[in-house]
A = this chain, B = another copy of it.
């Protein structure tokens, strides 16, 4: 099993100038497969029929032109694709890629057996440390970036971990990306809902941070999420962002938002067929723009509660879709994004914890390569809780140990120790145990194993209380990573200039 540090060691190291280096879960075990190979093939065949017959709408002229040039059947905004175009695109899309960070040890591998985790994306509300749910702001984002930077379980920072509602939407990307790029050394992801100008601004900011345009053009540095307006529609802003990132060779994640029963069929087979068709259409566009562009097979597919029409992301159908989408991604040879710690509960409670743990365990065992909602999400993506963020990091640490490769050798099989202790004996005092007791097992920071009386004697503080305590202590230990003063100043000047331009009407 992998070995983990305990509470004392973590806090001591967190107080040091640099954050603990992140670690990625590597899933070398057999991956979960809830569908048969025949079912995977049948769903893909249905997707090809959808792409050929119904087609997909792209609300962007350059995209339409690119499809037309490649030989797709184009009818206004509607594009119909055949299997050859799909196969050609899948042949150039890589199965693995690396995002290179601005500090050593912070690079992120996406694909193969590797899992990269980002905490959250798109939540308008925060459930804060005073247990208030309120609109998020730029300070909240900064706090979450610090937590993400400090947590070894987190690999990628989400610029939309919380929506900074105190910044006007058209310029929000500027201070938010600045916050992410300066307060953490970890690569950043975001979607772009206002159009290609946001994506181009970000490319320029990356060029400032990484030392010029070539340093971006030649190496993945950040990532964008492209949500499909399911069913079968790519809107202008998302399509523009896809194309800008693809032109620069930056990874693109194509994520249908199939809510079975609303934006897709209620039956999971049909929902997955549509989802697969939508992703493949997006994959084709990335490879038409620049062959070899890293593209993630994304999924936010789940269902709705058909009693009310409300989304159900903590549902068993959602967890099933995570496993199924990941099987489909493997079938295509593409890296996968799906799942995370998902819940529909409006507050951190037993429901939120049950649903998050069930979906997160399924996600890790499925062999997903990228989690976009791995820590802190509540209320069907609408809210983020920093305390639950840390509990989810502890779950990720725990799942890393559970799925770590077992060491089997003479030393770990311990036959001499078993014989020496003998029937009815005790291992606690044995040399075999004593020489290992500090690091042989996972030691959690938040979870307790002390029994009721001891817990009561220590003040009856439940897991949410303890997670909030831990959050405050961790944030106290935060130290901003180094950044060259000239770069910092250039970034600041760029943000100020673009804010003025955009508010003045120049995108």
Interface residues of A (CB under 8 A from B): 1, 6, 29-30, 32-35, 39, 42-43, 46, 49-50, 53-57, 78, 125, 133, 229, 231-233, 260-270, 273-274, 303-312, 314-317, 319-320, 323-324, 344-358, 360-362, 365, 379-380, 382-383, 388, 391, 395, 398-403, 406-409, 411-415, 417-419, 421-428, 432-433, 436-438, 440-443, 446-452, 455-456, 460, 462-464, 467
State whether A315 and B441 are in contact (beta carbons under 8 Å apart), knowing that A34-B402, A39-B408, A415-B49 are contacts in the complex.
yes
A324 touches which one: B266, B406, B446, B460 (CB < 8 A)? B406
| Interface contact A425-B231, CB-CB below 8 Å | yes
| Interface contact A441-B379, CB-CB below 8 Å | no
| Interface contact A268-B353, CB-CB below 8 Å | no
| Interface contact B353-A357, CB-CB below 8 Å | yes
Give chain B nearest CB distance to A285 CB in angstroms: 15
A265 touches which one: B42, B350, B414 (CB < 8 A)? B414
State whether A412 and B268 are in contact (beta carbons under 8 Å apart), knowing that A349-B350, A441-B315, A447-B345 are contacts in the complex.
yes
A419 touches which one: B53, B78, B357 (CB < 8 A)? B53
State whether A346 and B133 are in contact (beta carbons under 8 Å apart), knowing that A231-B424, A354-B391, A437-B306 are contacts in the complex.
no
Contacts of A49 in B (CB 8 A): 415
A350 touches which one: B33, B388, B449 (CB < 8 A)? B388
**Copies of the protein in its oligomer:** 2
Q: In the complex, which of the residues A262, A267, A319, A382 has the most CB atoms of chain B within 10 Å of its own CB atom?
A: A267
Closest residue to A439 on the B side, CB-wise?
B306
| Interface contact A411-B308, CB-CB below 8 Å | no
18 pairs of residues in contact across A and B, judged by CB atoms under 8 Å? A30-B30, A54-B418, A54-B419, A231-B427, A265-B414, A269-B414, A270-B432, A273-B415, A306-B440, A306-B443, A311-B449, A320-B402, A346-B448, A346-B451, A350-B462, A351-B446, A355-B447, A362-B402
Contacts of A78 in B (CB 8 A): 423
Contacts of A350 in B (CB 8 A): 348-350, 352-353, 388, 391, 462-464, 467
Contacts of A351 in B (CB 8 A): 353, 391, 446-448, 462-463
Contacts of A29 in B (CB 8 A): 32-34
The CA of A307 and the CA of B358, in the complex, are separated in Å by 28
The CA of A310 and the CA of B450, in the complex, are separated in Å by 7
State whether A231 and B418 are in contact (beta carbons under 8 Å apart), knowing that A350-B348, A451-B310, A462-B349 are contacts in the complex.
yes
A233 touches which one: B273, B424, B460 (CB < 8 A)? B424
Give chain B nearest CB distance to A277 CB in angstroms: 8
Contacts of A315 in B (CB 8 A): 398, 441-442
The CA of A106 and the CA of B401, in the complex, are separated in Å by 39
Contacts of A382 in B (CB 8 A): 451-452
Contacts of A56 in B (CB 8 A): 423
Give chain B nearest CB distance to A46 CB in angstroms: 5
Closest residue to A392 on the B side, CB-wise?
B354
Contacts of A361 in B (CB 8 A): 357-358, 361-362
| Interface contact A451-B379, CB-CB below 8 Å | yes
Give chain B nearest CB distance to A384 CB in angstroms: 13
Q: In the complex, which of the residues A50, A78, A346, A423 has the most CB atoms of chain B within 10 Å of its own CB atom?
A: A423
| Interface contact B309-A229, CB-CB below 8 Å | no
| Interface contact B269-A34, CB-CB below 8 Å | no
A421 touches which one: B231, B306, B324, B407 (CB < 8 A)? B231
| Interface contact B424-A261, CB-CB below 8 Å | no
Contacts of A391 in B (CB 8 A): 350-351, 354
State whether A380 and B449 are in contact (beta carbons under 8 Å apart), knowing that A401-B320, A421-B231, A427-B263 are contacts in the complex.
yes
| Interface contact A269-B39, CB-CB below 8 Å | no
A354 touches which one: B311, B395, B415 (CB < 8 A)? B395
Contacts of A428 in B (CB 8 A): 261-262, 304, 309
| Interface contact A440-B266, CB-CB below 8 Å | yes
The CA of A452 and the CA of B352, in the complex, are separated in Å by 13
The CA of A316 and the CA of B344, in the complex, are separated in Å by 25
The CA of A437 and the CA of B265, in the complex, are separated in Å by 11
Q: In the complex, which of the residues A32, A399, A408, A433 has the most CB atoms of chain B within 10 Å of its own CB atom?
A: A408
Closest residue to A46 on the B side, CB-wise?
B413
A305 touches which one: B269, B400, B401, B443 (CB < 8 A)? B443
